[in-house]
Structure 1
Amino acid sequence: MMETVLKSHYDEQHPHQAEDFHGKHEQNSKLSAGIKKDIEKLYEAVPQLVNVFKIKEKIGEGTFSSVYLATAQLQTGYEEKMALKHLIPTSHPLRIAAELQCLTVAGGQDNVMGVKYCFRKNDHVVIVMPYLEHESFLDILNSLSFEEVREYMFNLFKALRRIHHFGIVHRDVKPSNFLYNRQLKEYALVDFGLAQGTPDTKIELLKTASSEDEQEDSIHHSVQRSVFGERNFNVYSSTYQENSSTKLIKQSKMIDVSSRKLVTKKKIISTKTVSNGAARKAVSGCPSNLTCDCYATDKVCSVCLSRCQQVAPRAGTPGFRAPEVLTKCPTQTTAIDMWSAGIVFLSLLSGRYPFYKASDDLTALAQIMTVRGSRETIQAAKTFGKSVLCTQVVPAQNLRTLCEKLRGTNSSCKRSQGEVLSKSLNDSALPVAVDKQCAPETLGKQTQHLKSFQEGDGALEMKATDMKGWDQVPDEAYDLLDKLLDLNPATRITAKEALLHPFFKDMRL
């Protein structure tokens, strides 16, 4: 038996924090037979836990781990609530060690979760962290005041500034990984299971772990992950891996994309994204003398279909991935976390979550175009070595107009400007290809949620007496949002810069 106990830098404790809530985790809560069995198995796998923790219930389950609520008997006689994260035995040891190092080095301050202990037996590892009672993002989204949103984003940037200072790229920033206790105004960035290091990272183990991830990302990206009990509402069933887009690769004949039936009846915009230079070169599987004859057309030929796919990091959650991730840019920086933070801010300002909901990266890129513009996307892609072709110009939307229309806080959105917005999003079904064929019949389904935004389902009808500051959102908010959703990662605002933005001018660092 091997046991490891790691002390963290996190000394602050909040023994009172979970006592004032709704009795959600009472000791006598009824557990399902399945959860009871899981708890028993955990005790058997890591018997060191038996004499230290009393596991109450399972509060989260994802692809790589399960999270349990437990209490620890302190010497003072008080029972402190803690979160036990049980990593699946198949997790790579180096990845586990890297996650622990992120928590111990960067965690424990500036809204980054710390670690208290770590137990291990054989290939079972349990990380013990402080427990933070938190609200579900979806449950509170439309009840948050504008000032609460401002505080939320300020604290998220503090956490990102902290980890980016240590050269940590989180790679999975989203609401369910940023715990929020609304009553106590406490926050915690969690789950560093997918983190990578920058070239100058101060986390030694990330330097090695990052190379391992590139081989695993293509397998893990489509599986639902949730942390600390909140389901990931943004995940759409990724069945596209089994659909005709996979089967098409096996065909040798020319495939005419434009002839395939689309679910949507709106105008089709065909977009193709390829690596600069790679589009003209045949690779293994094709004779070198074969040239591509589908370039800039609505067809994908057998030469293109047989090419090797570019390998690049592509972790994260659908809907939150930056353009450089979606287009398989091999060089990815802390800027991808800032894009994800921008999507969170977009959801908060618009009152819609998830804002983007795509089953694959190709559709996700198309959806980004409907908001940020096709020309802008094409131009930005050139800066990181990608060539994007689009047969129709899709204009960029005004972010204030978009958010106010979705939230229903400004009657001016109903005028002609709003009509242009509605038409643009409704008419945009964008078949996209990133070094591979994409089945267009799946794309119409994925853009339906954008259409529903404009058709008014669930649109908020706010009373003038209950606007909570949403009728006075300053221009600085949308200026910051624009800088977060900069399509060019090289010029995208950093966490340190965001904290100094005029939007937060009266808030203390």
Structure 2
Amino acid sequence: MFLSCLLMEELKRNPGLKEDIEKLYEAVPQLSKVFQITDKIGEGTFSSVYLATAQLISGNEEKFALKHLIPTSHPLRIAAELQCLTVAGGQDNVMGVKHCFRKNDHVVIIMPYLEHDDFLDILNSLSFEEVREYMFNLLKALKRIHSFGIVHRDVKPSNFLFNRQLKKYALVDFGLAQGTSDTKIELLKVVQSESQQRSCSQNKRHRMTGNRATVPPELAQQSVAKPAVRPWWSLSQIQIKPGKEEFSGLSAQRFVFGERNFNIKSPHSQQNVTVRLTKQTKVMDVESKKLLTKKKIVSSKTLNNGTARRGTTTVPSNLTCECYATDRVCSICLSRRQQVAPRAGTPGFRAPEVLTKCPNQTTAIDMWSAGIIFLSLLSGRYPFFKASDDLSALAQIMTIRGSKETIQAAKRFGKSILCSKEIPGQDLKTLCERLRGISCAEPTANELEQDSMHLTVSEENKKEDMLIPQTHEEQSLLQNCSLEHCHSDSKTEISMFTVNMKGWDRVPDEAYNLLDKLLDLNPVTRITAEESLLHPVFETMQL
């Protein structure tokens, strides 16, 4: 009775909630037999999360989190996420799964509910000891999933639930997870293989043969109006082992990775596919003609210089491009194979190797994200990085870690970075203490200087060039991240008293040493989750 009253009040405050709940019950009728949905507690691009209660056999009520995946989600992705939760979840602060309900292309994952605090609400009230425990438990969860060869790819505070009162933690949302080369999650291997095939298919579209552009055979076949063929890994064949509840394997009518749904059954669907693909082919033809024109000019130049023989049909790979460190792309670069690399994740938490499209990405990208969380906890500022695009994000990282260090690290994974001005790296301890109000020393003139800089990020062999537009040094970064210094003596005194009471005046150097290792620009030498848990800052904590 009390629960029903709460539900009625919530529905009055949020009229749209009732409609959303009714739609979910209609899409998956099995839910109404088991759960009473009371609230929507989360909503993202690929899913919505609801709070529900269920009557147990013992007579007690238990709360659950119901994750409703959008119908256009790739079926293989859904199955891979479920396998991550069932294999790696349920212990070491990794969220587990209770059940899975499916009706047609609607899938609802049932997980235990952990009532949690909002990260931004508690950030500046946490003591250093609480921060230390938070990081220890986050790294414990990362060690767990990394041991199974799972790369989470979206580690951030909202995906690491924290109940401050109960001291409980849970790493959630494996919708963007990928597998390492030796992953133990079988479906992640299939996802990775499928992604590689898609990348190869995209690269083929940029291949030039002889004096004319060739359209890939698979694209030419698709442009003919024929029924779409279901791939072998369609989830009508991938079954989730049923249990006592009424849920079964997943099946869907799509095979696109959360993008356009070309295979929805409708009278006009097949016609739309033909039109889209035909238009794409026409655009490709126009671009190919432009490229061929530029290519002929380049070929004639190289022939005159004696650097190419008559009859050469492709642009030599060892030619030096004409656009390096400029704001344009030359024909030589246009003729090269397009680089495709995973870049899933949340802006502000992406590692340097993700921002620069490094194809070989490992669990180290999760450790970088953990380092960004640690940086926010130590500085009391969230979000710390706030950039509109990947290149601006890379420039912001350079204002903290330094341009020279970034350039050296980039060379290790096949990239070169040009910077118009050398930017020194900052001392992480000094930065965090000043932002927390522990040290209110006035910043130097060099720190406050605002200079625009232009960066060109490219592969070391000059295959790809990207121009980073204008960005700023530390002062601009602090403004973008909503960073504030002490404004008055009285506020400073209160702030100092508060942090002293919570141990922020006694933060050990080991904490900043771990932060430095987590924010190592080189993914190869970046500290792992297992190594982090053995760091001296966690010496008194037990695994």
Is the pair's TM-score, using the shorter chain for normalization, greater than 0.5? yes
Q: For residues 124 and 486 of structure 1, do their structure 2 counterparts lie closer, same or farther at Cα, with a shift above 3 Å needed?
A: same
Counterpart of 1:369?
A: 398
Write the mapping of 1:220-259 to structure 2, written as runs, cut at 5 A.
Answer: none
Consecutive unaligned residues in structure 2, runs of 5 or more? 203-255, 260-286, 292-312, 459-463
Counterpart of 1:327?
A: 356
Deviation at 1:450, TM superposition (A): 2.8
Counterpart of 1:504?
A: 538
Counterparts of 2:140 and 2:405, CA distance in 1? 29
Counterpart of 2:97?
A: 115
What secondary structure sits across from 2:33 in the alignment? coil
Within the candidate set 449, 466, 471, 2:498 is matched to 466
The code of the aligned residue for 2:448 comes to: K
Deviation at 1:326, TM superposition (A): 0.7
Counterpart of 2:34?
A: 52
1:29 aligns with 2:9: yes
**Is the Cα–Cα contact under 8 Å of residues 448 and 475 in structure 2 kept in the other structure?**
no
* TM-score computed with the length of structure 1 as normaliser: 0.76
Deviation at 1:455, TM superposition (A): 7.6
1:488 aligns with 2:468: no
Deviation at 1:419, TM superposition (A): 1.2
Counterpart of 1:422?
A: 447
Write the mapping of 1:132-147 to structure 2, written as runs, cut at 5 A.
Answer: 132-147=114-129
- Superposed CA offset, 1:337-376 (max 9, x none): 0000000000101111111111111111111111101111
- Superposed CA offset, 1:60-118 (max 9, x none): 11111000000011112211110000001111111100000000010000000000000
Q: For residues 325 and 181 of structure 1, do their structure 2 counterparts lie closer, same or farther at Cα, with a shift above 3 Å needed?
A: same
1:400 aligns with 2:425: no
Counterpart of 1:382?
A: 411
The code of the aligned residue for 1:388 comes to: I
- Superposed CA offset, 1:444-496 (max 9, x none): 69994434669836778444432111111110000000000001111100001
Q: For residues 439 and 507 of structure 1, do their structure 2 counterparts lie closer, same or farther at Cα, with a shift above 3 Å needed?
A: closer
CA-based RMSD: 3.1
Larger radius of gyration: 2
Counterparts of 2:257 and 2:434, CA distance in 1? 36
1:85 aligns with 2:85: no
Counterpart of 1:154?
A: 136
Counterpart of 1:97?
A: 79
What secondary structure sits across from 1:51 in the alignment? helix
Deviation at 1:298, TM superposition (A): 3.9
Counterparts of 2:472 and 2:35, CA distance in 1? 50
Deviation at 1:33, TM superposition (A): 2.7
Within the candidate set 357, 363, 385, 1:356 is matched to 385
Counterparts of 1:70 and 1:454, CA distance in 2? 36
**Is the Cα–Cα contact under 8 Å of residues 406 and 453 in structure 1 kept in the other structure?**
no
The code of the aligned residue for 1:466 comes to: T
What secondary structure sits across from 2:9 in the alignment? coil
Deviation at 1:299, TM superposition (A): 3.2
Which structure exhibits the higher relative contact order, with contacts defined as CA atoms closer than 8 Å and separated by 6 or more residues?
A: 1
Deviates more, 1:319-328 or 1:388-397: 388-397
**Is the Cα–Cα contact under 8 Å of residues 95 and 193 in structure 1 kept in the other structure?**
yes
Consecutive unaligned residues in structure 1, runs of 5 or more? 1-18, 223-248, 254-284
Counterpart of 1:313?
A: 342
Deviation at 1:286, TM superposition (A): 9.3
What secondary structure sits across from 1:180 in the alignment? strand
Counterpart of 1:259?
A: none
- Superposed CA offset, 1:363-401 (max 9, x none): 111111111011111111111111222221111110011
What secondary structure sits across from 1:477 in the alignment? helix
Deviation at 1:294, TM superposition (A): 2.7
Q: For residues 371 and 137 of structure 1, do their structure 2 counterparts lie closer, same or farther at Cα, with a shift above 3 Å needed?
A: same
- Superposed CA offset, 1:202-233 (max 9, x none): 111110112445659x99999xxxxxxxxxxx
Counterparts of 1:466 and 1:344, CA distance in 2? 22
Counterparts of 2:192 and 2:70, CA distance in 1? 19
Counterparts of 2:486 and 2:84, CA distance in 1? 40
- Superposed CA offset, 1:230-253 (max 9, x none): xxxxxxxxxxxxxxxxxxx99x99
Q: For residues 324 and 455 of structure 1, do their structure 2 counterparts lie closer, same or farther at Cα, with a shift above 3 Å needed?
A: closer
Q: For residues 420 and 168 of structure 1, do their structure 2 counterparts lie closer, same or farther at Cα, with a shift above 3 Å needed?
A: farther
What secondary structure sits across from 2:129 in the alignment? helix
What secondary structure sits across from 1:36 in the alignment? helix
* TM-score computed with the length of structure 2 as normaliser: 0.72
